[in-house]
Amino acid sequence: MFGLLPNIGTAGSRSALLHTASPAASTRRFTSSELLRLRLGIFTGIVGSVLIGVGGIGAGALPVVGNSLWSLPVSGFLSRMLHSTTVAVFVGISLLIVGWLLLWRYCVPSKDTPAPLLPMASLVRIGVLWVLPLLATAPMFTQDIYSYLAQGSIAAQGMDPYSAGPVDLLGVDDDLARSVPFEWSHSPAPYGPVAEGMAAVISKATGDVIAAGVIVHRLISVACVFVAAWAVVHLARRCGVHPQAALWLGILNPLVYLHLVAGVHNEAVMMGLLLAGVECGLRAVDPDRATVAGRWMWGAVGVVLINSAGMVKVTAFLALGFVGVALARHLGGRFRDLVVAALVYAVGTAAVVAAVSLGSGLGFGWIMVQGGATEVISWMSVTTDIGLLTSNTGQWLGLGDHGEAALATARLIGLMIGAFWVVRMLWAAFQGRVHPVGGLGVATFFLVVFFPVVHPWYVLWAVMPLAAWANRATFRVAVVAYSAVLSYFILPRGLNLPPSTVAVMYLMSALFSVVLIVLGWLLYQRRKATG
């Protein structure tokens, strides 16, 4: 892992560690060939996003009932053409990835171009153009949004979403409960009061109309992605990384479009709050901020934002440790300063958690339901795979069925390994051997790798902060490879289909993708030759 990242042993002064000037921007003009290639990348990404959005109306995760927006004649026609619309989505994914890759040379410095060619404002506009076609499509790659809607309705009606599942509280005939995936229909809400409170407000505002609720959730997700983009830009400048490179890798990443926007996962809200909170927390200890009042204000805002992210998903609380370490170094870097910083953040966390939990009316029940997702068997989880392999090997050897014990043991060992890396990164950040942003990214990466449940978009928890800190080409190549491959791993409807059907869909998608990409490249070469 460390071969892909900046050297962890590189030390720096306290000022250099916490605040680094932004790298210089390139002033070189585009050549005609570069401009043509850039336009091709932008256009390819737009076409890909449009195909994903249109295909999602037929191939997306439509609700069981209450399909108010996607029940127009054209959507009914598209939904009956499941194979074709699924192929359209996968071809769109291919084009989106190609468009993203074509922007690499304009955002990431190289020997020939030591500074990014693409201005920041242009990169933001490209991101907006690519996200627009996804705003009104059906939910995609997951059915989790229907759990959010049902849990929001439960909270809006004054019931406790942490006491039972949507079917238990809303009833089997409720439209929202019927669209919740079966595996979660009797499970309490696993999210904190910020997520459930937001869902309750949306429930009241939309009157539990499914399509309206999906769109409002998605608009909030997009807004939080933009907040995350703002934070990534500022964090990159702190770490001496070109902000265009960080924005391209961490925010324009196809997994963000597919799962945080199209899939409307809560990670969008969590990462927006978390990264903004880290930036605010680091502003509180900037050496050039002279006023005490200003430091306290930024520090308080950081505590509120990070804790709010933790009350979406508890993994976000990890960021408190790294911002706390930055405060300890600002106070003097002694062990007693670390204790003082820990006490400050502990008191702040207790105050914010109590205020939100009680103020929302949801109480503290969310603390007791964490870990419910571990019931899911996730093939991407290393520890789950090891546990299942050990259990199956034992049965094959005639040692009996010890599946639950093997799985629990493997997952416990994995969590211990993840915790070790968290502690190691906290100590390295405290000693000044790694920037707090980098420490947070590396710690989160190992926590995700050894987590009992892993989904393709979980790696974004680590990629977003690492994009603002890690500047080695090998790291970027690894993230690009992972993002490109994992973009295809979940069907648009978020459900399993017969293997033969899936094989035909992938084969057709690959064929159409190759044909379109080759035709586009030939047209580009012809246009390039004619000047």
What are the tens digits of pLDDT across the range 466-517?
A: 999 988 889 999 999 999 999 998 888 876 777 777 788 888 888 888 888 8
Q: Yes or no: say if 262 and 141 are a contact pair by the CB < 8 Å rule.
A: yes
Is residue 226 classed exposed, middle or buried when 0-12, 13-18 and 19+ CB atoms within 10 A define those classes?
middle
pLDDT for the residue 26:
55
Residue 211 burial (10 A CB sphere; 0-12, 13-18, 19+): middle
DSSP-H helix ranges across 431-498: 436-449, 460-467, 473-486
Q: How far is CA 432 from the centre of its chain?
A: 28
Give me the torsion for CA of 521, 523, 528, 530, rounded to 10°.
Answer: 160
Phi and psi at residue 36, to the nearest 5°: -65, -40
Q: Compute the distance between CA of residue 452 and CA of residue 441 in angstroms, rounded to an integer.
A: 19
Show the tokens assigned to 186: 């009797």
pTM: 0.87
- Between CA 497 and CA 486 the distance in angstroms is 18
Q: What share of the chain is helix, strand, coil (3-state, %, to 5)?
A: 70, 0, 30
Q: How far apart are CA 496 and CA 499, in angstroms?
A: 9
CA distances from 129 to 132, 319, 333, 517 (A): 6, 31, 45, 20
Rounded to an integer, what distance in angstroms lies between the CA atom of residue 182 and that of residue 177? 10
Please name the residue that has the structure tokens 């250099």: 16
Please provide the distance, in angstroms rounded to a whole number, between the alpha carbons at the two ends of the chain: 44
- How is residue 184 annotated by DSSP? G
The rounded distance, in Å, linking the Cα atoms of 97 and 274 is: 26
Q: Cα(270)–Cα(468) distance, rounded to whole angstroms?
A: 17
**Among candidate residues 465, 492, 490, the one with its CA nearest the CA of residue 479:** 465
DSSP string, 244-306: HHHHHHHTS-HHIIIIIIIS--THHHHHHHHHHHHHHHHHTT-TT---HHHHHHHHHHHHHHH
| pLDDT score for 453 | 80
Q: Which residues of the chain have pLDDT under 70?
A: 1-28, 30, 66-83, 112, 114, 289-290, 371-379, 392, 394-395, 397-403, 495, 531
Task: Report how far residue 525's alpha carbon sits from residue 39's, in angstroms, rounded to the nearest whole number.
Answer: 13
Gyration radius from the chain CA atoms: 24
State residue 395's pLDDT score.
67
pLDDT of residue 482: 93
78, 57 contact by CB (below 8 A): yes
